[in-house]
Amino acid sequence: MQIISIGCDHAGVAHREAIYQHFTAKGYQVKDYGTDTSDSVDYPDYAHLVATDVESGVARFGVLICGSANGVCMTANKHQGVRAALCWKDEIAALARQHNDANIICLPARYITLAEAVLFAETFIQTAFEGGRHQNRVNKIGC
C-alpha cells in the first residue's frame, strides 16, 4: 500500500484529521505530521517534513493544508522532484495529476469544506499521470 505524508498549520487541523481518517480507513499508511492545535504555528515547518518524505521517496504522495494553501505550496516546491499543486476544485486535483504528475496536493482550508478536502485528496491520489505529451513538459520543470 502506498504511503501518504500529511501536514498542516493551525488553519488546517480539521481538514487534516478528516483526510487522515479517510485514508487510514481505506488501509493506507499515513505519516501524520500534524499540527493538532489551533495555536498559531509556522506552516514551513510542516511543509518541509511532508516535502522531504516525497522528495526522498518515503511517501508516494503528500497532502498539505493551510489557510490559503499558498504558503505550503511555495515551501514544498522548493524541494527537488516535488511538484506541489494548489487545488480548490476536484477537476484541478485531477488535472494536477493527469497533466503535471503532481505529487503533493495543497488544500486551502479557509475556502473548502471538509468533504471537499477529502474528495479532492482522494481524486488526487487515485488519478494517474497521462504521460505522453505531458512528460516532456514535466521534464522541464526542475531547475
- In the prediction, which pLDDT does 143 show? 82
| Mean pLDDT across the chain | 97
Per-residue pLDDT reduced to its tens digit, 27-70: 999 999 999 999 999 999 999 999 999 999 999 999 999 999 99
- Catalytic residue (one of 15, 22, 66, 87): 66
- In the prediction, which pLDDT does 11 show? 97
- In the prediction, which pLDDT does 1 show? 64
**Cα(15)–Cα(28) distance, rounded to whole angstroms?**
17
Q: Domain 3-139 maps to which CATH number in 3.40.190.10, 3.40.1400.10, 1.20.1340.10, 3.30.70.1070?
A: 3.40.1400.10
Phi and psi at residue 51, in whole multiples of 5°? -60, -35
Domain limits of the chain?
A: 3-139
The secondary structure of residue 72, as a DSSP letter, is H
Kindly report the pTM of this predicted structure.
Answer: 0.97
Per-residue pLDDT reduced to its tens digit, 76-90: 999 999 999 999 999
Is 134 one of the catalytic residues? no
Is 99 one of the catalytic residues? yes
- In the prediction, which pLDDT does 49 show? 98
